[in-house]
Structure 1
Amino acid sequence: MSYPVLLQLTDKNVTIIGGGKIATRKARGLLTTGANITVIAPTFTEELQQMPIHRIPENYQAAHLNGAFLIFCCTNDPAVNTQITQDATAHQLINDCTDKSRSDFFNMATLQQEDHLIAISTSGDNPTRAKEILQKIRKKR
């Protein structure tokens, strides 16, 4: 049995490779964490362009991972995502949005209240199901 861990990301470097919908969703979810968010991609969604994050308009290079604590592989190129996971060091946590077997962690659907946090995870198997469960909890409140 594994136990979910909620990470304190304030002032931690988070690198997202990819500039599309998935990268946008990951960045949006990280905005309130206090993390230093960097997104690397040749192009960015309109929403990513408006976010208060650091953007590097380039194709992925191994040097982009320097100093990253968390790394999200969000490209639509499996070869690039594989390369990112190979380039990461043992100290860096990876979430490959295209292949959960290469991920060290999974995002959770969360409901934050003043005195508690509810987190739902399917261990990367079915993020949509986690969101559905969370919606049911919200409706019952």
Structure 2
Amino acid sequence: MSTFLPLNIRIDGKKILFVGGGGLAMHKLQAVLQFSTAVTVLDSACSDEVVSTGVQVLNKTYEPSDLDGFFLVYACTPDEGLNRRVLDDAQKKGVLCNIADNRNDSDFISPALFRHEGMTVSVSSDGRNARRSVEWRNAIKELFLSKRVPTKTNA
């Protein structure tokens, strides 16, 4: 069983790489783009949706040197072997890596997020039940948006 420490990481001036440019990457990318635009997506066939975000896209196949200069990497391909290779290469280089659909091997996981008026709420099930994390996040979001919880504007 993996154990994860909830924390916030400073990413000012740090680059983030996504290996894989399909639907799985897009899901993670939407959250990351709330915090950083220093994002590159590497995929020989990126989806139009990913391209439309305006991130830098590298249309190529993965090789270990692609990790050079990156702080975080998300392995988001449908190829388990490639995702594992990205993780192994990242760990050798000291780059934190998330395999989008494999919490047990990932260095970090991404919580369900809600941002409102300078506050960020993150909900995590330690990767065990993403759907439940989203349900909790949505319930918290509804509390804030319905003004049942004091915020900067209604306190």
TM-score normalised over the length of structure 2: 0.83
Secondary structure at 2:141 match in 1: helix
Q: List runs of 5+ in structure 1 lacking aligned partners.
A: none
In the alignment, what sits opposite 1:101?
A: 104
Asked whether the 8 Å contact 1:40–1:57 carries over to 2, the reply is: yes
In the alignment, what sits opposite 2:43?
A: 41
Q: Which amino acid aligns with 1:110?
A: L
**Residue 6 of structure 1: which of 5, 8, 11 is its match?**
8
Q: Which runs of 4+ in 1 moved over 3 A?
A: none
Alpha-carbon offset, residue 35 of structure 1: 4.2
Q: Which amino acid aligns with 1:78?
A: E
In the alignment, what sits opposite 2:128?
A: 125
Deviations 1:94-137 (A, max 9, x none): 10113212111111112222253221001111211111111112
Alpha-carbon offset, residue 90 of structure 1: 5.1
Q: Which amino acid aligns with 1:92?
A: V
Asked whether the 8 Å contact 1:94–1:102 carries over to 2, the reply is: no
> Per the alignment, do residues 111 and 98 of structure 1 end up closer, same or farther by CA in structure 2, a change over 3 Å counting?
closer
Alpha-carbon offset, residue 44 of structure 1: 1.2
Q: Which amino acid aligns with 1:107?
A: S
Alpha-carbon offset, residue 140 of structure 1: 2.7
Asked whether the 8 Å contact 1:39–1:54 carries over to 2, the reply is: yes
Deviations 1:32-63 (A, max 9, x none): 21241010111111111111211001111111
**Structure number, greater radius of gyration:** 2
In the alignment, what sits opposite 1:55?
A: 57
Q: 2:101 & 2:4 partners in 1: Cα distance? A: 21
Alpha-carbon offset, residue 2 of structure 1: 4.9
Q: Which amino acid aligns with 1:95?
A: N
Fraction of identical pairs, as percent = 25
Asked whether the 8 Å contact 1:10–1:33 carries over to 2, the reply is: no
